[in-house]
Structure 1
Amino acid sequence: MLEYKIYINGEFRNSSDNSTMDAVNPYDRSVFAKLAKSTVEDTKAAVKAARDAFDSGVWSNKSREERSAVIKQIADKIKENSALLQELEIKESGSTYKKSKDDMFLTYRAASTFAKLALTDLNEELAISKPGVSKNLLVREPVGVVSAIIPWNFPLQMAMWKIAPALAAGCTIVLKPAPETSVSALELAKIIDSSELPEGVVNIITGDAEVGQEMVTNPMVDKVAFTGSTEVGKIIMQNAAATMKNVTLELGGKSAGIILDDADLELAVDGSAYAGYFHNGQCCVAGSRLIMTSKIYDEVVDRLRAKLAKMKIGNPMDKDTDIGPVISDKHQKRVLEYIEIGKKEGARLVYGGGVPKGFEQGCYVEPTLFADVDNNMRIAQEEIFGPVLAVIEAKDENDAIKIANATNFGLAGGVWSKDNERAMNIAAKLRAGTVWVNEWHLLNDFAPFGGYKQSGVGRELGLEGLKAYTEVKHIHVDEVLDRKKKFWYNVTVPQDLP
């Protein structure tokens, strides 16, 4: 049985009350690790460690080059330990071998990207400066202590999406992974501990809602970075408002793909299946709605059914498995309940809809396809976060855009077409933070990521993501040193304003 301790101020320790929690493998519901379960007192200690480290300047005062070198060191150690990290992620999350191997690369890439971005000089002299009169500088400084709370679907990648930009900006951080996937984060803590990062700069704790509450409300915290559901994001935003904390929220989605009549249907159908069923649809950007006109509707549905029938459900450790378990018993029940809701609402169940035979020992759900879905149905409006795709018929291209935008979310979207100009015209009209054309799930760490509407606040990744961990300061240096030329007490307004 594996055992893990929380990581505070450069030290691995048990929780203050010695409580523990189990790490459960969703493939067979077996317990494979015991973890220290953080208390509120542990959380306060982690925040204080981060506060003390930040205020001491032990990290924030380092040069851009020094910070970059340490982040690159962490990236290289992630790469060296990728086999172990991958095994742990498969066990804790049910991620397939193929998906988790990709996650290891993306975790390494995120760290490497921010090691490069850390070298960027974000300061600038503003154009309003006038030689001999004044110099105006825009200076970006680290925001301070960051509380980061991440979900269970991409545990290591999400950890690095928070840790790497925080370090690049000069911040200190307290990270709380989801209770379901804390093992890989605590293994990551060992990697961080072996680097040249000073004590207290990164702290990794575990726990549930009460720990998260302390992280969000503690007055020593300057910023909250959260990835998770819209419902929890709203609560975090309300709690953070009490002390006016800076927030970045990457929340839920109900993303729509639009297949145009001229699309290559082999490409569009395979891509739409990837959009909707990758990692069992447990992705904030999952293409969980699919829209097209009647001209290609029946053929697309038939092709999707055939595609799903060929997907291999199996042990996530097997390299050829396409569909593994969902994250937990609780989530399996939730997804199955939504499938029943879809049936009751009148949607036509085309494929799946239950627990696959032979996999009752785990938290499995069949890849499920609904056709004849009305966009007002709950399965078309609410984030299921499971392997459930809703196919919707549109009258025409404009109607497809209207349907795609008729949601409270705005995280992602996609267009499938042979005509890039036509597709780009539609992409411009979709109210979403990321829109793919003839692609899905492909992200670039140098490009910003985030959502419109109730899909979030702010952006992650790229320079925008780095700037999110900074405060902006304007410094005015006056070069007029003759007291007689100052007009402090006799201000006159020019008659002719520029």
Structure 2
Amino acid sequence: MTATQDTERSGAGPSALPHHPLIIGGEKVDTDDKLEIIDPSNGEVVATAACGTAEHIDRAVEAAQRAFDGGDWSRATPAERADVLRKMSTLLGERLEDIVELEILGNGATIRQATGFHVGYCAPHLEYFADLAARYEFERPGPRAQFPTLGQSSVRREPIGVVGAIAPWNFPLLLSLWKWAPALAVGNSVVLKPDEKTPLSALALAEIALECGMPPGVFNVVPGIGADAGSRLASHPGVGKIGFTGSTAVGREVMRLASGTVKAVTLELGGKSPAVVLDDADLETTVDGVLYGCMLYSGQVCESMTRLLVPREREQEFVDRLVERASTIQLGDTRDWETDMGPLVSAKQQERVLGYIESGRAEGATVALGGGVPDGERFTHGYWVEPTIFTGVRNDMRIAQEEIFGPVLSVIAYDDEDEAVAIANDTEYGLAASVWSADNQRALEIADRIRAGSVWINDAHQINCAVPFGGYKQSGTGRELGPDALDAFTEVKGIHLDLSGSRDARPYDVLLSHAGD
């Protein structure tokens, strides 16, 4: 049974919309309130999902804790857990088309992009976490003590218990997987709250997990409104760790809520990433790379390269080429393989982006391309914004400082490399950056000076599951992916074994005399 078929229908008759319940304790759970899943390309409701509340989060945490205490997953061998994750990876690959459809129903990604990135990355990333789990060092010997007595220590890594994951709408499956997969790999139970606009692919994955042999209650998915379900998950005393991806403003609130029970947090937040072009950069390659870095998924990527820093003497040729190439970006049907760029995710996001475009004009920047809703009948419905390029941008403008999350590129001219680095670092964010040059050594030297968690040279959006990902400054705390990704979902325990074999050899007399013996 495919993921799209394994749903219930709301209402009756052939025209009823697909409906998707919560998954709690291995069971489908429906609710009185429903989330409407809206296709951003036309604004139509295409499905519904159950809307979880704080009470459903409580039920899910209880189910997760019971499953953890039961031990079928938490005390399974690493190889057994890895085997289930690999089976999930295989089914993900086999059901790629179904999962892609669920993914793009609510987030407006093009089928080409969703197949290549949104869902296409998921199976290999899950396989990577399975491999980590199989070889993870859960225990290692510590140093042998000689004083005050002979003893041997060991260091263990143990699962935390119940892990909460809060995922965003832009890459709902992949970015949730970066949280639940390493958490499950080391034996935790998970409660995942996907964004209310895009819960369908995560719910399908929960069913795949059960099908692959994951015990009920180990993986629970509760879509809901952030202020209700998300807040409860972040503050819940039964949750020992929160992984969150989203805006910096919401990340601060998640950190505040988590602090009430001093739970660990990993936060992957906003960005305002620079693309630093050096004076020897190849024009055509750099322009295509910068547009890919900025306009992919209509700019709705946290590490999008939305600030282009270009030498003043080459500014005009870069702008001319940018406008020429960006004018060829094809907007249209998200399920057409020829479409390059789709809509924004919601009416609210469209309004936000258009507001930033107006602020750029108001502050004196010049629109070299775009600047509004594209022309044409098909764009009168849905949430469309055309690729937009600003010139004459100062780095103190709102469009250069604040995360727009839309297809808006700000071109900023600089006079020397020191100024370029200063502009690149003049932001509250530090998620990613790129450097473009024909000289690898020069590019590496600039990369060393940029305060960001990822710096890509002559490329963009290079997410490698074997390399840690996360940000400096207000772009977050902690790292996801990479060889140490499982560490964040474990507690470290030291165990000491006395080897002296004698009461007299131990320093008990510091406190207790032998007078009473």
Shorter-chain TM band: over 0.9
Corresponding residue for 2:167? 150
* AA partner of residue 79 (structure 1): G
Alignment gaps of 5+ in structure 1: 492-498
Corresponding residue for 2:339? 321
Corresponding residue for 2:103? 89
- CA shift for structure 1 position 124: 5.0
SS in 2 for 1:237: helix
* AA partner of residue 117 (structure 1): L
Q: Which moved more, 1:123-132 or 1:50-59?
A: 123-132
* AA partner of residue 101 (structure 1): T
Alignment gaps of 5+ in structure 2: 1-16, 512-517
Distance in 1 (CA, whole Å) between partners of 2:60 and 2:510 is 52
SS in 2 for 1:471: strand
- CA shift for structure 1 position 478: 2.5
Distance in 2 (CA, whole Å) between partners of 1:225 and 1:353 is 36
* AA partner of residue 441 (structure 1): H
**2:461 is the counterpart of 1:447:** no
User: How do 1:96-107 and structure 2 match up within 5 A?
Assistant: 96-102=110-116, 103-107=118-122
Distance in 2 (CA, whole Å) between partners of 1:276 and 1:225 is 26
- CA shift for structure 1 position 392: 0.7
Corresponding residue for 2:310? 292
**2:220 is the counterpart of 1:203:** yes
Q: Which moved more, 1:416-425 or 1:182-191?
A: 182-191
Q: Which moved more, 1:188-197 or 1:384-393?
A: 188-197
Corresponding residue for 2:391? 371
Distance in 2 (CA, whole Å) between partners of 1:447 and 1:476 is 34
Corresponding residue for 2:301? 283
* TM-score, normalised by the number of residues in structure 1: 0.96
Distance in 2 (CA, whole Å) between partners of 1:264 and 1:287 is 18
* AA partner of residue 49 (structure 1): A
CA contact (8 A) 2:142 2:152 kept: no
SS in 1 for 2:152: strand
Corresponding residue for 1:111? 126
Write out per-residue CA displacement over residues 95-115 of structure 1, whole angstroms, 9 at most, x where no aligned residue.
011110012220111111111
* AA partner of residue 327 (structure 1): V
- CA shift for structure 1 position 130: 5.0
RMSD, aligned CA = 1.4
Distance in 2 (CA, whole Å) between partners of 1:357 and 1:286 is 25
Q: Percent same amino acid at aligned positions?
A: 45
- CA shift for structure 1 position 129: 2.5
* AA partner of residue 82 (structure 2): S
Find the partner of 1:164 among 167, 181, 186. 181
**2:153 is the counterpart of 1:136:** yes
Corresponding residue for 2:3? none
- CA shift for structure 1 position 161: 1.2
User: How do 1:25-424 and structure 2 match up within 5 A?
Assistant: 25-102=39-116, 103-125=118-140, 128-130=143-145, 133-208=150-225, 209-358=227-376, 359-424=379-444
Distance in 1 (CA, whole Å) between partners of 2:282 and 2:243 is 40
**2:453 is the counterpart of 1:433:** yes
SS in 2 for 1:461: coil
Corresponding residue for 1:495? none
CA contact (8 A) 2:307 2:412 kept: yes
CA contact (8 A) 2:242 2:264 kept: yes
Distance in 1 (CA, whole Å) between partners of 2:355 and 2:443 is 35
Find the partner of 1:462 among 482, 493, 511. 482
CA contact (8 A) 2:138 2:158 kept: no
Write out per-residue CA displacement over residues 378-419 of structure 1, whole angstroms, 9 at most, x where no aligned residue.
111110111011111112111101110111001001100111
Distance in 2 (CA, whole Å) between partners of 1:255 and 1:126 is 43
**2:24 is the counterpart of 1:4:** no
SS in 2 for 1:288: strand
- CA shift for structure 1 position 136: 2.3
- CA shift for structure 1 position 128: 3.1
Write out per-residue CA displacement over residues 203-259 of structure 1, whole angstroms, 9 at most, x where no aligned residue.
001110201111111111111110000000000101100100111111000011101
* AA partner of residue 136 (structure 1): S
Write out per-residue CA displacement over residues 261-297 of structure 1, whole angstroms, 9 at most, x where no aligned residue.
1111111111000000000110011001111211211
- CA shift for structure 1 position 41: 1.5
SS in 1 for 2:449: coil
Distance in 1 (CA, whole Å) between partners of 2:24 and 2:109 is 28
* AA partner of residue 195 (structure 1): C
CA contact (8 A) 1:125 1:135 kept: no
* AA partner of residue 270 (structure 1): D
Distance in 2 (CA, whole Å) between partners of 1:403 and 1:489 is 64
CA contact (8 A) 2:139 2:157 kept: no
* AA partner of residue 109 (structure 1): P
Corresponding residue for 1:494? none
Distance in 2 (CA, whole Å) between partners of 1:127 and 1:181 is 46
Distance in 1 (CA, whole Å) between partners of 2:204 and 2:136 is 32
* AA partner of residue 237 (structure 1): M
- CA shift for structure 1 position 193: 2.4
Distance in 1 (CA, whole Å) between partners of 2:143 and 2:204 is 50
* AA partner of residue 166 (structure 1): A
Corresponding residue for 2:14? none
Write out per-residue CA displacement over residues 113-155 of structure 1, whole angstroms, 9 at most, x where no aligned residue.
1111111232454563258932222211111101111001111
Distance in 2 (CA, whole Å) between partners of 1:314 and 1:34 is 24
- CA shift for structure 1 position 40: 1.8
CA contact (8 A) 1:123 1:137 kept: no
- CA shift for structure 1 position 185: 1.7
CA contact (8 A) 2:389 2:408 kept: yes
- CA shift for structure 1 position 91: 1.9
* AA partner of residue 294 (structure 1): R
Find the partner of 1:484 among 461, 486, 504. 504
Write out per-residue CA displacement over residues 470-491 of structure 1, whole angstroms, 9 at most, x where no aligned residue.
1111122222222222224449
CA contact (8 A) 1:125 1:136 kept: no
SS in 2 for 1:47: helix
* AA partner of residue 329 (structure 1): A
Distance in 1 (CA, whole Å) between partners of 2:280 and 2:449 is 19
Distance in 2 (CA, whole Å) between partners of 1:279 and 1:219 is 37
* AA partner of residue 157 (structure 1): L
* TM-score, normalised by the number of residues in structure 2: 0.92
Distance in 2 (CA, whole Å) between partners of 1:125 and 1:169 is 15
* AA partner of residue 18 (structure 2): L
Distance in 1 (CA, whole Å) between partners of 2:357 and 2:490 is 43
Distance in 2 (CA, whole Å) between partners of 1:135 and 1:278 is 54
Distance in 1 (CA, whole Å) between partners of 2:63 and 2:112 is 38
